[in-house]
């Protein structure tokens, strides 16, 4: 979307490019400029409300693999802007933290770290927030199966006493959708995750 | 330590000095509140650091209700995800359905007819009434006023009967589809909604009389959990919590969707930003919602309740599916491959009862979203707890929690 604000940002900050968007103004920002752009938007352009921090995983073999997405709003002018920043490292993705500019970023960044494994440089308290502390995976990454992965229980003593584990969810029977690519004759609707099916039996629960 | 200093028991100043030197006041206690506690309104755990009866630190622990909704959304078609939105803010499922449907429609670039928009507005506002009724009733209970809960729950029960008539379900409504609604309103339903609204007004007045000038209620909520204007913005609060702190931001006014610009209503704004103000704002919002519902009913437009043009988005009517080959194929494609949404990025915010519920969708085209992020207002409301709890008494915690009006289904997703 064409907008005067996008033009101003791309002129002022070297390397910032307009981003395709169908609703709000959107800009691609190089990682090292992200903090200064956000600070400028907050102080000069009254984008004082950080609505959302998230990221997109472009799949395992894409490079750059992760893009951080930020949504800022203005409580006085009722405008929105979307910022996007690619992580330079594909294996150990990292972005600068916004928690010094916006306290709201604290939890949002913890969540993005938990779900996608992006580390926020300078974050005061980068712990897991939705999963438990020792959980070994980042579930929103594209290679993580919908059913989940076999994992030990968070408490070792409970696991020892009960012999229980966190087992993948039975996905047989749905949710169904057809693949979006390929010849139509091959696009049979199938379960989104084939963790177990007729050919591969359900993992035993004991 | 005390036995080493010699003091006479007549010496009051010496006794006071001894108390000071004792470790009695310096010792902090860690108290776990929740994850299962009646005052935490769901599975929320608070790690509280107590100095006597005063809170010196608070660390909210969330995630006990995490179901991976975003992951699920990225693995199913757009319409298949509608029932999952019911379970976000499970106290106002209709409002979530509408927010999600509009988000995807923005992405697809389709407009729904005026009648559909008006029905959606009624749905959103009834959901707000339902959510606020529960929020206020339980809030009264948190502060020790049990009667309010009985009043509001009776009213919510009537609302659920109306929801059942409209959607077929009392709780998990799943009422919207991409490009429309599942069905039109049943005969006479608008009249019954109108009657409900009319009889709700005196009950809100009664609630008002019970709480607003109630000495116990006012004493327990005034100057408790105060959030300044700056803090509210910095921590990303939205909805009634933000407006109670004096910020005039209502998405229904700022960026009207679904035809909200056609209705005449006021946005209540607080001034102090304490628990009492948040209560007052919600109470006023109830009245405003009734105004909107009655306006929508009085000027309900005729026409279709779905977009007939969007052939690849909205499934054809069932009577057509059974008689026409063309429609049968179209129905099959939409059911199996999902509504075909073009590539793009959208961020849609809806003013829900708990605050701003936003959906960020990145689509690569086709029937399945590539990335769907849900911004739950309760998530942000809870993050401010560690900032506002310290300095308050232990008994203020349920009041603060109740006044923020959160729901864990939306916080954890």
Chain B touched by A122 (CB under 8 Å): no
Q: From chain B, pick out residues whose CB is under 8 angstroms from the CB of A78.
A: 249, 254-255
* Cα angle value A167/A157/A117 (rounded, 5°): 50
State mean pLDDT over B254-275: 88
Q: From chain B, pick out residues whose CB is under 8 angstroms from the CB of A56.
A: 362, 370-371
pTM for the model: 0.86
**Which pLDDT band holds residue B1 (cuts at 50, 70, 90)?**
very low
DSSP E strand stretches across B251-364: 344-352, 355-363
SS3 B101: helix
The lowest-confidence range among A87-96, B58-67, B305-314 is B305-314
Q: From chain A, pick out residues whose CB is under 8 angstroms from the CB of B412.
A: 130
Q: Is the pLDDT of residue B283 over 60?
A: yes
* Substitution target from A25, A73, A141 for chain B, most B beta carbons within 10 A: A73
Kindly identify which residue of chain A lies nearest to residue B235, measuring between CA atoms.
A104
For the stretch A76-86, pLDDT in tens is 888 888 899 98
3-state SS of chain A is CCCHHHHHHHHHCCCCEECCCCCCCEEECCHHHHHHHHHHHHHHCCCCEEEEEEEEECCCCCCCCEEEEEEEECCCCCCEEEEEEECCCCCCCEEECCCCCCCCHHHHHHHHHHHHCCEEECCCCCCCCCCCCCCCCCCCCCCCCCCCCCECCCCHHHHHHHCCCECCCCCCCCCEECCCCCCHHHCCCEECCCCCCCCCCCCCCC
Q: From chain B, pick out residues whose CB is under 8 angstroms from the CB of A131.
A: 63, 66
Pick B345's closest partner by Cβ from A22, A51, A175: A22
- Cα–Cα separations (whole angstroms), residue A203 to A147, A176, A194, A198: 12, 21, 12, 12
* Chain B closest-CA separation from residue A176 CA (Å): 7
Contact at CB, B375 and A176, closer than 8 angstroms: no
Residue-level length of chain A: 206
Kindly identify which residue of chain B lies nearest to residue A141, measuring between CA atoms.
B71
Output B315 or A26, whichever has higher pLDDT: A26
State mean pLDDT over A114-129: 88
Looking at residue B98, its pLDDT comes to 92
Pick A177's closest partner by Cβ from B70, B345, B368: B368
CA B258 to CA B303: how far, in whole Å? 15
Contact at CB, B379 and A178, closer than 8 angstroms: no
SS3 B266: coil
State mean pLDDT over A107-117: 91
The neighbour count for residue B190, using CB atoms within 10 Å, is: 17
CA B327 to CA B333: how far, in whole Å? 10
Tokens of B287: 């009245």
* Chain B closest-CA separation from residue A141 CA (Å): 9
Provide the chain A residues 36-55 that lie in CB contact (below 8 A) with chain B: 48-52, 54
- Averaged pLDDT of chain B: 86
* Chain A closest-CA separation from residue B59 CA (Å): 11
What lies within 8 Å, CB to CB, of A199 at 6+ separation is none
State mean pLDDT over A121-143: 87
Contact at CB, A26 and B345, closer than 8 angstroms: yes
- The candidate with the shortest Cα–Cα distance to B137, out of B196, B223, B211, is B211
CA B221 to CA B275: how far, in whole Å? 5
Tokens of B280: 């007052």
* Chain A closest-CA separation from residue B252 CA (Å): 11
- The candidate with the shortest Cα–Cα distance to B165, out of B188, B181, B199, is B188
Output B19 or B44, whichever has higher pLDDT: B44
For the stretch B19-28, pLDDT in tens is 555 555 567 7
The number of angstroms, rounded, from the C-alpha of B3 to the middle of its chain's C-alpha atoms is 57
Q: Is the pLDDT of residue B229 over 50?
A: yes
CA B12 to CA A202: how far, in whole Å? 75
End-to-end CA distance of chain B: 52
- Cα–Cα separations (whole angstroms), residue A68 to A56, A64, A71, A128, A145: 6, 11, 10, 18, 22
* Chain A closest-CA separation from residue B220 CA (Å): 28
A112, A55 Cβ separation under 8 angstroms: yes
Provide the chain A residues 169-188 that lie in CB contact (below 8 A) with chain B: 175-178, 180, 187
How many Cα neighbours within 13 Å face the side chain of B81?
33
Contact at CB, B66 and A131, closer than 8 angstroms: yes
The neighbour count for residue B90, using CB atoms within 10 Å, is: 17
- The candidate with the shortest Cα–Cα distance to A135, out of A155, A120, A118, is A155
State mean pLDDT over B295-306: 88
* Chain A closest-CA separation from residue B308 CA (Å): 23
Q: What is the ipTM metric for this complex? A: 0.84
Q: Is the pLDDT of residue A143 over 80?
A: yes
Chain B touched by A144 (CB under 8 Å): yes
Q: Is the pLDDT of residue B2 over 50?
A: no
**Which pLDDT band holds residue B162 (cuts at 50, 70, 90)?**
very high
Residues B265-295 as b/e (b if ≥16 CB within 10 A, e otherwise) read: bebbbbebbbbbbbbbbbbbbbbbbbebbbb
For the stretch B172-189, pLDDT in tens is 888 998 888 888 889 899
State mean pLDDT over B184-197: 91
Order of strands across the sheet with B29-33? B29-33, B45-51, B54-61
CA A51 to CA A74: how far, in whole Å? 10
For the stretch B135-160, pLDDT in tens is 888 888 888 888 888 889 899 999 99
Residue-level length of chain B: 413
**Which pLDDT band holds residue A196 (cuts at 50, 70, 90)?**
low
Q: Is the pLDDT of residue A127 over 80?
A: yes
Looking at residue B340, its pLDDT comes to 84
The lowest-confidence range among A103-112, A156-165, A185-194, B215-224 is A185-194
Contact at CB, A23 and B373, closer than 8 angstroms: no
Output A54 or A151, whichever has higher pLDDT: A54
**Which pLDDT band holds residue A12 (cuts at 50, 70, 90)?**
confident
């Amino acid at each position: 979307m064409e907008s005067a604000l996008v033009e101003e940002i791309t002129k002022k900050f070297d390397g910032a490019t307009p981003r395709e968007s169908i609703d709000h103004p959107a800009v691609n920002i190089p990682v090292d400029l992200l903090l200064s752009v956000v600070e400028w938007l907050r102080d000069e352009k009254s984008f004082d409300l950080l609505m959302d921090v998230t990221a997109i995983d472009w799949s395992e073999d894409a490079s750059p693999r992760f893009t951080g997405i930020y949504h800022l709003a203005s409580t006085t002018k009722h405008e929105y802007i979307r910022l996007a920043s690619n992580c330079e490292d594909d294996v150990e993705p990292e972005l600068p933290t916004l928690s010094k500019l916006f306290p709201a970023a604290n939890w949002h960044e913890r969540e993005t770290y938990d779900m996608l494994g992006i580390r926020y440089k300078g974050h005061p308290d980068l712990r897991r927030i939705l999963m438990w502390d020792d959980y070994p995976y980042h579930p929103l990454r594209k290679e993580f199966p919908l059913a989940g992965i076999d994992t030990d229980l968070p408490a070792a003593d409970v696991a020892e006493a009960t012999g229980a584990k966190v087992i993948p969810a039975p996905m047989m029977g749905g949710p169904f959708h057809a693949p979006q690519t390929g010849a139509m004759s091959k696009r049979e609707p199938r379960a989104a995750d084939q963790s177990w099916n007729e050919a591969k039996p359900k993992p035993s629960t004991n | 330590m005390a036995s080493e200093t010699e003091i006479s028991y007549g010496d009051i100043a010496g006794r006071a000095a001894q108390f000071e030197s004792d470790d009695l006041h310096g010792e902090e206690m860690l108290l776990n509140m929740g994850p299962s506690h009646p005052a935490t309104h769901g599975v929320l755990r608070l790690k509280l650091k107590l100095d006597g009866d005063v809170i010196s630190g608070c660390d909210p622990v969330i995630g006990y209700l995490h179901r991976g909704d975003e992951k699920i959304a990225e693995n199913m078609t757009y319409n298949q995800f509608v029932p999952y939105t019911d379970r976000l803010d499970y106290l106002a499922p209709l409002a979530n359905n509408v927010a999600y449907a509009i988000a995807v429609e923005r992405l697809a670039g389709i407009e729904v007819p005026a009648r559909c928009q008006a029905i959606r507005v009624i749905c959103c506002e009834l959901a707000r009434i339902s959510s606020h009724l529960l929020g206020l009733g339980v809030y009264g209970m948190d502060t020790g006023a049990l009667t309010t809960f009985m009043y509001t729950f009776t009213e919510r029960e009537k609302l659920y009967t109306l929801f059942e008539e409209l959607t077929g379900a009392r709780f998990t409504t799943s009422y919207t589809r991409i490009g429309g609604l599942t069905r039109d309103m049943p005969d006479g339903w608008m009249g019954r909604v109108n009657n409900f609204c009319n009889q709700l007004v005196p009950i809100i007045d009664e609630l008002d009389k019970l709480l607003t000038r109630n000495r116990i209620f006012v004493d327990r909520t005034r100057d408790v959990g105060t959030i300044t204007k700056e803090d509210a913005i910095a921590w990303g609060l939205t909805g009634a919590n933000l407006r109670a702190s004096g910020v005039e931001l209502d998405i229904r006014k700022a960026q009207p969707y679904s035809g909200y610009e056609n209705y005449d209503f006021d946005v209540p704004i607080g001034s102090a930003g304490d628990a009492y103000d948040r209560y007052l704002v919600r109470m006023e919002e109830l009245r405003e919602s009734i105004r909107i519902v009655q306006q929508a009913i009085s000027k309900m437009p005729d026409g279709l309740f779905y977009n007939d043009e969007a052939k690849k988005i909205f499934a054809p009517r069932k009577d057509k599916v059974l008689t026409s080959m063309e429609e049968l194929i179209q129905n099959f494609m939409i059911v199996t491959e999902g509504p075909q949404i073009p590539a793009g990025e959208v961020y849609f915010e809806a003013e829900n009862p708990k605050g701003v519920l936003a959906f960020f969708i990145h689509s690569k085209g086709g029937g399945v979203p590539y990335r769907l992020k849900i911004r739950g207002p309760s998530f942000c409301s809870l993050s401010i707890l560690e900032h506002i709890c310290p300095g308050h008494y232990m008994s203020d915690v349920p009041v603060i929690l109740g006044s923020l009006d959160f729901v864990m289904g939306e916080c954890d997703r």
